[in-house]
Amino acid sequence: MTVVVGSAEARVTAVVAALPEEVAPLRSLLTGVERAWVGPLLVESGRLGGRRVALSATGDGAGNARVGVAALLAASRADGLVVIGVAGAL
């Protein structure tokens, strides 16, 4: 089953990090939150500062990042991607 987060009418910015702790500050600011599982990836979408966003944490490592970002972009139909994180500094 494929879950589509977002819509063609609303531009979406995807925001991804390796760890849930890295997206938590943004998650707390989301309004109108919707959650959907895309395979093993939880995608949380909503509005942040008036902009539609889709947040996800992929898990650490290059393999998880590759698979997670691909799934997030496909599910959210994002037109932009922001990668955040602390590169192992937690």
Per-residue pLDDT tens digits for 43-61: 999 999 999 999 999 999 8
Mean pLDDT of 51-73: 94
Token digits for 49?
Answer: 């500062």
Q: Whole-structure pTM over 0.85, yes or no?
A: no
Residue 56 and residue 42 in contact, taking contact as beta carbons nearer than 8 Å: yes
Q: Does the structure show a pLDDT above 80 at 21? A: yes
Spatial contact of 16 and 83, defined as CB atoms under 8 Å apart = yes
Closest CA to 46 of 84, 83, 15, 3: 15
Q: Closest by alpha carbon to 19, among 61, 54, 75?
A: 61
For residues 89 and 72, what is the distance between their CA atoms, to the nearest angstrom? 24
